[in-house]
Structure 1
Amino acid sequence: MDALKLPVGEGVTPWINKAATTSPTAEIGYVSDEGGYWAVDLEETPELRWPQAGEVYERMSRQDSQVRSVLQAVTLPVRRTKARLEPNGARPEVVALVAEDLRLPVVGSDAPPAGRARGRFSFKEHLRLALLQAKFGHMFFEQNYRIDDAGMTRLRKLAPRMPRTISEITTARDGGLISIEQSGTDKPIPVSQLVAYVLDGDPGDWRGNSLLRSAYKNWLLKDRLLRTQAQVVDRNGLGVPVYEAGPKDSQEQLVEGEKIARSYRSGDVSGAATPYGAKLRLAAPEGNLPDAQGPINYHDDQIAKSVLAHFLNLGRQTGSWALGTTFADFFVFSLQALADSVCETFNQHVVEDLVDLNWGEDEPAPLVVFDEIGSQYAAVAEALKLLVEAGLLDPDDAVKAAVRQAYSLPTKTTSEGGSE
């Protein structure tokens, strides 16, 4: 809004910056408030209310192969995608310190990260833990630094604070995070020392939403069906042992025959002896047995659909692989969004914090970036070849270094045997 200025003169009000006097600088409303509507947990399923929900999601991922496949399908492509440090206008010494602490290569340079890895921060391990947000809906880390010999603040580690240990999450009225508190401690961890990854969280709700929440009903029903299916096979697979008494059997002999039938088990050494005229037979079930496999397959399909991983079901269903490719494209888009979210949080609360501690808040900071998930490297190589042959691209040292980096080619060596 442009400022409205009035001329100064006799009987005239001095110049007034109207924008400054009317622009709101304080919030009237709020996002969250203690005792308000949003303070009540709106989760209708008791076992999925925080913090108990974490135990359920852990059990789902450990006990069900389809749930584990879904989580692996979401996290492994992101973990496998290469991460690099984009200078983003930062000074070389700033980029060098951040790259060394994060042990990440710089975009356009094929030089590997400097220094030893043992006892140092590992971005790959941090990414693996950060992606636990897909399972639990949130994942917190506590920042920890060290001071080197030159007096520079260096990143020592980002210590995970597992969801099952968190007893309280405190937020401000505007929805911002204030602190978290862990069970067994009375000292909260302030937001200034936290890195918080939250998946699809509503404003003011730092618990996020687990990818497994929408699949919970299908997992629960499938688990019951699997147990029922096992009971059907166990009871009816070989038939039900029946003892038929002989014409002269007494009541005592009938009782003993019932014990023989109840103790009968299949196996290489199984068997039974009966009195003269008595019989032991396996009675086949009558009628049609319930088929649980169809409903089990249905629930597996729904679990995969809950994360857009429709292609996990193509081996069992009819349909074109072209349609499967379309499904995969949507899935890759969701993975790219997840990777971008991780990068945004990491850059704001790790990279920028590290730069601020050493050079101040006005210093430009580099950025951690991911390669595009599912990049078609063969198509890229062919396009580069055509551009060079057409004279539209000059394969200078920067281009060559970028190509070596993208395709994980060996570092170029000099005539003296060193690397450039």
Structure 2
Amino acid sequence: MTVPVQEQGYANGATAWWTEIGNEETPELQWPKNIDVYDRMRRQDAQVISVIRAVTLPIRRTKWRIDPNGARPEVARQVADDLGLPLVGDENEPVIRTRDRFSWSEHLRLSLLMLPFGHSIFEQVYRIDEAGMARLRKLAWRPPKTISRIDVASDGGLVAIHQHGNEKPMGVERLAVYVNEREGGNWLGQSLLRPAYKYWLLKDRMLRVQAQTNDRNGMGIPVYTASELPESVTGEDRTKREADEVAAGLKLAKGLRSGDNSGASIPNGAELDVKGVTGTLPDADKPIRYYDEQIARAVLAHFLNLGTETGSWALGSTFADFFTLSLQTVAMQIADTTTQHVIEDLVDINWGPSEPAPRLVFEEIGSRHPATAEAIRALVDCGAIKPDQKLDDHLRTVYGLPAADPATAREPLPRTTPATEMK
């Protein structure tokens, strides 16, 4: 049997299968025009903003750590220090202050922009310290609006990216690229907002119609009726006077406004009426609510529709659990990309590709439990937080308790036997 060591097929090319899937038929959503569209969506619409925050804030809020994963202690410690994250089991150890001021929380916020834009690209920048070790100086964000071209190999792998105004391409060896729902060689990804676009567009139009309807019909439409001229006025003079009065009446009707000092003066025999709407105006509220519901459904955030879509909170926990699973998947993608293209690159530069590398892990989203008095008492009574330091650290993390302080530790009070037990 011949062992295949080279690829015969391809994932990127003129007839690549992903190009058929990734072809965008809507002109304004074709790259790079879609970047401006998605930027407007996430900045202008309250429902879209709520949806994006519902997806990103829990991921940003959860605890992130470095798991040694079999790496030597000095390797794991340097990676943790460069990323500004604690090691698993050493949560009580303070994170050192580095001169490069790399912020994991800020990097995480920017990396999650792959959700609205489809991709979020960073350039790795290092410095050499006094010991000759490469230290992570920054992961410099390269905004989607600055990307002019992406070079992709025939097997679908990323080769380099180009920026407007920068003739020198940036090779994949110095990049960390987060892509949402990448297929084949499509390193532009797909925006989380793509399924919600048509509902956002229709909602925007409906809001404009609703505003115009209220503006035109809220007070009514002023109608001026000219007075009858004397029969003695005839000929061209009559025609001129009628035209002048109609013109003056139209100006009066157009300038009519409500307010404390509003009013009008008209000739004897003329009439000025404010006419309301006859018939029924279209109800724009229902379609607007429907469009909001569909925008939330696009990201599985059904719970944002509770009270409007279902009229009840009965399914709230089921919706929230399903949504939390989707957040876990996004966080896992962030962790995998950072481990492969930031942590392993850092280890390869300093210790070589054969050195075991740590990995980025995160606390399960939604796993934080309330530290109730009963739970704390149970932990103390059964001695669960005493056997070893790692278990103590874990339980304090899970229950949100402060770090242990041996200098101020106190012996637990003796348990008082309840009166019911004495009987």
TM-score between both structures, scaled by the size of structure 1: 0.89
Contact 1:109 1:405 in 2 (8 A): no
The amino acid that maps onto 1:23 is: V
- Residue 291 of structure 1 is matched in structure 2 by 283
Residue pair 1:138, 1:208 contacting (<8 A) in 2 also: yes
Decide which moves more: 222-231 or 399-408: 399-408
1:279 match: 271
Report how far residue 53 of structure 1 moved.
0.6
Letter in 1 for 2:320: A
1:351 to 343, 362, 367: 343
- 1:356-400 per-residue CA deviation (whole Å, 9 max, x = no partner) reads 111111111111111010114138997787577567886422211
SS of 2:289's equivalent in the other structure is helix
Name the structure 1 match of 2:48. Answer: 67
Residues 97 and 257 of structure 1, relative CA distance in 2, 3 Å threshold = same
Query: 1:275 and 1:144 mapped to 2: Cα distance?
Result: 80
Q: Where do 1:159-198 residues align within 5 Å?
A: 159-198=140-179
Q: Does the 8 A contact of 2:371 with 2:400 survive in 1? A: no
Who is 1:107 aligned against? 88
**Which stretches in structure 1 are left out of the alignment for 5+ residues?**
1-18
Matched, 1:307 2:299: yes
User: Is 1:340 equivalent to 2:320 in the alignment?
Assistant: no
Aligned to 2:416: none
Change (3 A) 1:392 1:234: closer
Structure 1 Cα separation of the partners of residues 222 and 345 of structure 2? 73
Please name the residue that 2:6 is paired with.
26
Corresponding residue SS for 1:256: helix
Aligned equivalents of 2:43, 2:98: Cα separation in 1: 31
> Structure 1 86/401 Cα, relative in aligned 2: closer, same or farther at 3 Å?
same
* In 1, Cα distance between equivalents of 2:182 and 2:17: 17
Give, in angstroms, the shift of residue 203 of structure 1: 1.3
Could you tell me which of 230, 239, 261 is aligned with 2:211?
230
Query: Matched residues in 2 for 1:239 and 1:406: separation?
Result: 62
The number of residues matched between the two structures is: 397
Amino acid at match of 2:6: A
Distance 1:91 1:373 in 2: 28
CA distance, structure 1, for counterparts of residue 211 and residue 258 of structure 2: 16
Task: Compute the displacement of 1:116 (Å).
Answer: 2.4
Q: Secondary structure at the match of 2:315?
A: helix
Tell me which amino acid in the other structure corresponds to 2:40: R
The answer to whether the 8 A contact 1:110-1:404 is kept is: no
Equivalent positions of 1:356-375 (< 5 A) are 356-375=348-367
Q: Is the 8 A contact 2:222 2:272 kept in 1?
A: yes
1:56 equivalent to 2:48? Answer no
SS at match of 2:394: helix
Ranges in structure 2 where 5+ consecutive residues have no aligned partner: 230-240, 410-423
- Given the alignment, which residue of 26, 34, 37 partners 1:45? 26
Distance 1:37 1:317 in 2: 38
Distance change in 2, residues 1:313/1:38 (3 Å): closer
CA distance in 2, matches of 1:302, 1:236: 29
Identify the range of structure 1 (393-402 vs 368-377) with the bigger mean alpha-carbon deviation: 393-402
Between the aligned partners of 2:372 and 2:153, the Cα distance in structure 1 is 48
Alpha-carbon distance in structure 2 between the residues aligned to 1:382 and 1:313: 35
